[in-house]
Structure formats: C-alpha cells, structure tokens
Amino acid sequence: MNAKIARAILRCQGAHQIQTPDRVTQSALKMIAKMPEISDAISAQVAADAVALEKVSVDVPADLIEAMTELSERLSEPVRRSAISMKNPAFLAVALAFMAMIGVGVWLLMIRMEGFPGMKETISLAELGNLSEPSQFEPLDAPAGTLGDWFVMQGFDGFRVPTGFESYQVVGVRIFDFEGTAVAMAVVPENRAFFYVFPSQALGILPGASGNWRILEYGMEAKRWAIGITQTGDFCFMISFEGNRAAMEEFIRRSESQ
C-alpha cells in the first residue's frame, strides 16, 4: 500500500471507522503517520464528520412522532378493497395528512442541519488554516480592502472582502494549497481572526446567494471554533476564529453595520 492508496482509503471512511479501524484502515493509518500534511487533513475530516453527525441529530417533537405513529397504524389496518380507492374521501384525507406530517419532519430536519454543498470541506479548510504557524505569513500592515493588488502580484487574482470588512487591519498574509486549489489567507488582530478567499466552484463549496451567511461551530467542548462564510461572485469569503456561533454572528453584524 502506498501513500496515495492509503489516503484514498481514509477519505472514504467516516469518523467511527477511523476511530475504531479494521485491518485495512489500520494499515492506511500507519502509512500516513509520518506524513503531517496528510495526517492533518484526515484529522480535519474526522472533526468535520463529527460536526455533520451532530447536525443531523434531530430531536423530533413527541407529538409529531405520536401523530405519525397513529396515522401509520390507521393506514396499515385491513380495509375492504373498495375502501382504498383514490376516490374514497376517508383514504384521501388520511393519505394527505400523513404526507403533511412527513413534510413537517423533513422541514425540521433541514432547519437543524443548516447544511450546504461543501460544508465538510469548509470545516476541513478552516482546520488546516487554523494550524498555520506565524512564520508561514508574510508581514503586511494594510486594510483588508486594499490587499487585492498584493495578492495579484503573488499570482492570486480575486481577493475581495464584503462590504463592511474593508477597514479591518491585516498584519500578515499568505497563499496556501488546499485540495489542489490556491487559498488566500489574512490575519486580523481583532478577534484574532483569519480571513480566507478562494474560488467556490473549484472546491465545491457553495454557501448560497451573495450576502447569505452560513455560520458553523466545531471543535471540542473546551475549545470551540466558529466559521462564517458567504459567496461573492465566483469566490467565497470565509472568517474563522476561536469562539462560538453567537460570537461570529455578532462579529458579522457589527462589521456589516460599519
């Protein structure tokens, strides 16, 4: 087994399979143990899987479960052949009510998940960026809204920040590779935040219409990280810092009101 095969195997595994590995997974883990860049990416994958599982964990109201159970029992009761006709008003009423209940359940699930295409990759990217060392950044003292030209000179064309974020003072910048795509990164002393800009389609990260913020929270109980991400044209703008969802919501609200 080589490193490429080991990584492919681990990328197909969920958090549970990696934490309780079988023989093949154990071999793959041994192969990447001495490769920090791959090991860090797999650790980020495990963290992202844990967040996704937490998001999917939905508490369905007890009254909704009771109502759906009752409807299911009524639908399974023996009935005369003529009674199941689509023209039978009683059958139609029960069927429509059952579909309505299912719709409510799906709606509750969507609200709790708050997912979007590329959510897992978003968390993995933030995990990798948060591991950056100070020595990896080039010192630069300038407002975030003026960094476009600097990044163009470094080969990255498209660094823009949303309205309200232009005046944040940046003290360090870098460009790094994530999944074969260049990502621009800036350090902002306020909230000890990181700003990221990257092409959305290249990474399959699509948070939604421009100006539509998605906010995520991940990490261990003792140390939580918050992410705020929005799409601006063909690029995504992302913020991450140590804190919770409420802190990120307040940071974005305060920035957009400037």
The domain boundary, picked from 56, 75, 100, lies at 56
Distances from the Cα of 11 to the Cαs of 98, 101, 128, 141, in angstroms?
39, 36, 16, 38
pLDDT of res. 220: 83
Asked if 137 and 244 sit in the same domain, the reply is yes
Asked if 240 and 191 sit in the same domain, the reply is yes
Mark whether 209 and 231 lie in a shared domain.
yes
Tokens 């309505």 -> residue = 100
Per-residue confidence at 93, pLDDT binned at 50, 70, 90? low
Of 16, 37, 56, the position where a domain reaches its end is 56
Are residue 124 and residue 252 in the same domain, yes or no? yes
| Claim to verify: residue 144 and residue 237 sit in the same structural domain | yes
pLDDT, tens digit (0-9, with 9 covering 90-100), for 218-240 = 988 778 999 999 999 999 999 99
Full residue range of the structural domain in which residue 175 is found: 119-256
Q: Are residues 153 and 246 in the same domain?
A: yes
Q: Is the model more confident about 126 or about 24?
A: 126
* Helix boundaries (H) for 57-189: 62-76, 89-113, 119-130, 148-153
Q: For the segment 51-81, what is each residue's pLDDT rounded down to a tens digit?
A: 555 554 455 566 666 766 676 666 555 544 5
pTM of the model: 0.59
What's the number of domains the chain is made of? Answer: 3
pLDDT value at residue 168: 98
Domain match, 106 and 135 both:
no
